Every structure is written in C-alpha cells, then in structure tokens.
Copies of this chain bind each other. A is one copy, B any other.
Amino acid sequence: MNQLTQQVLDGHTRAIARAISYVENNHPEKENLIDSLYAHGGNAVVWGLTGPPGSGKSSLLNLILRKERDKGKKIAVVAVDPSSPFSGGAVLGDRLRMQKHAVDPGVFIRSMASRGHLGGVSGAAGDVIKILDAAGFDLIIIETIGVGQTEIDIVEMADIVLLVLVPGLGDEIQALKAGVMEIGDVFIVNKSDRDDAAKVRAEIEYVLHMKTPSELDVPNPVVMTSALENRGIDDLLVQIEQYLAAISQNGLLEQKRKQRIARELKIIISAKVRGRVYRQLKLDERIQNWADAAYNKEVKPYTFINRKLEDLFK
C-alpha cells in the first residue's frame, strides 16, 4: 500500500485533500488510489442536500453540523458549485458562514466545481465519496448549489436525499419542485414561520400521495423547519434516522447503493471509452476541420460521424 493510501485511511486531512485533488485533476495515480481505498469503505452514511437557491440550505446545514457533531460523528461536507474559471471560482458567503466548523478537526469541508470533470461531476463526486468513506467519516453530506439536471444526478449518489423547499418563491420554483420532487426522500419546508408554509406542506403531501408506491417504499417524512429561529432541527434529525433505519431494514438502502454503483461503473465505462475513441480518431486535432466542413454544409452530421465510426470499429 502506498503512502497516500495509508495516510487517507489514517484520516490525515491534508492527505484526504490531496487524494480529492487527484480525482479533480484526473491524476495518473487516481485509479490505483481509488481501487486501493475501495475495500475500506462502506461504513459512511451519505446524505444529499438540495433545493432551490434561497431556500436556506446552508443555514440548515450549519445547524445540522452542530447537532451531529455533538453526537461525536466525524463529518465531511462536499459542496458542489457551478463555479467557473471566468469568475475565479465562486466565493461563497455560504461557505464563509461555515468557517466556524472549519477549525473543528472532526469536520472536513470541500467545494467542488461542477465543470471540467472527465466523466462529469457525478463521476468525480462518486470517487470523492469513496475517499471520504475510506478515511473514516461517519457522515458525508453532499450539498448542491443550483438546481438542475447535473445537481439531481449528484444528490442521487446519496443514501438519502433531503430536499429543502420554501414558501413563496413563485412559479418557477413550482416548476423546479415538480422536477425535483421525485428525488427527495425527506422533504424539508424551511422558513416555516412564513404564512404559506402549511400550503407548501399540503402541496408536497398531495404529490407524495399520487406517487405509485413500490414494494420497498417507506413513507417520506415532511418536516417543518426554521433555520433562522433554530426550530425543527431535532425533529428533522429524528426523521432522517428513522427513515434510514427503515430502508436499512427492508433492503432499500442496499438496493440504492447497488444502483449507485451500477451508475458509477457505467460512468467509468463511458468516460474511458470516450477517451479511447477520441484518441484513436485524433479528435482534438481533427474536430475543428470536421466542424468547418459541417458549418459549410459539405457534410451531414450523422452520416459523417457514422462513416468515421465505421472506419474505427471495422
């Protein structure tokens, strides 16, 4: 076993950070590292935390961290941001607010950009989870900033998805809700001190009611919280534990984890095959000529690509 692997297993913060950088930079040693850590994982519980911007996810997360730390858990937080090279990475007020946890050695906080990962950010997030799991964290929380398809793919890597909703964000939020409802396990109505919080709860319960139950389904808790007034957090954590206990007992957790692994294997296959074919086609050199030809209508896109791939696979 090499030194970095050993240091990660020992829980050294700087080694963990370096291992994550291997994943983010697709370092040549990445695959060996992940494979050598892999057998040591499987002990952490992974929570996904998502919801529309402005729903107060970060304030909730702060309160959750405090309570779970009091139970003696080692916790890692991975926050996935749509940060960009142009802006030099998002400087998050949210992250700053978490700094009081940054001096606590039992809490590890890391931001990950959602762009620029070979095999997509969900592939990278899967590897980061494996590192943190092997490093001995009891609880790994994946938080997404932004609400979109990529973010949904990421939180689906979790054992349990906490979906934060709030009253009064208007029509577009309703649309987003419709899009993300299916991925939630525990529904949190935050800012529940607001007038129309009960209405949001009723809407969620209505949609849940319409869901076609599957064999292993466990009732989805809907919890009212106010991060601002520090209310409802204890109830939330009880509901989370009960949900996890139920899906652990009935086999749904195992099924979810196997599905996650299946997705991860597919992501690895896709990324590796794509890389290999791009190299064989010398795509980096040629793509601009091909695009020019298509722009000038000299070739038809599908016919052209099919011919190129025929050459490659024959």
Task: List the interface of chain A (C-beta within 8 A of B).
Answer: 31-32, 34-36, 38-39, 42, 52-55, 57-58, 81-87, 89-94, 114-115, 121, 144-152, 169-176, 178-182, 207, 211, 254, 257-259, 261-262, 264-266, 268-270, 272-274, 276-278, 281, 283, 287-288, 290-292, 294-295, 297, 300-306, 308-309, 313
Q: Given the complex, which residues of B lie within 8 Å of A146, measured CB to CB?
A: 146-149, 175-176, 179
Q: Which of B87, B268, B277 contacts A182 (CB 8 A)?
A: B87
Q: Chain B: which residue is nearest A298 at the CB level?
A: B39
Q: Chain B: which residue is nearest A288 at the CB level?
A: B262
Further 4 A-B residue pairs, CB within 8 A, beyond A90-B175, A148-B150, A276-B313: A35-B300, A84-B180, A84-B182, A272-B309
B147 touches A149 (CB 8 A): no
Which 5 residue pairs across A and B have the least CB separation, nearest first?
A: A148-B148, A82-B179, A86-B182, A149-B150, A31-B302
CB within 8 Å for A181 and B147 given contacts A175-B94, A176-B82: no
CB within 8 Å for A89 and B266 given contacts A35-B300, A172-B53, A273-B309: no
B291 touches A258 (CB 8 A): yes
Q: Given the complex, which residues of B lie within 8 Å of A92, measured CB to CB?
A: 171, 174-175
Q: Given the complex, which residues of B lie within 8 Å of A147, measured CB to CB?
A: 53, 82, 146-148
A89 touches B297 (CB 8 A): no
Q: Chain B: which residue is nearest A182 at the CB level?
A: B86
B283 touches A269 (CB 8 A): yes
Nearest CB in chain B: distance from A276 CB, A: 7
B292 touches A266 (CB 8 A): no
A302 touches B172 (CB 8 A): no
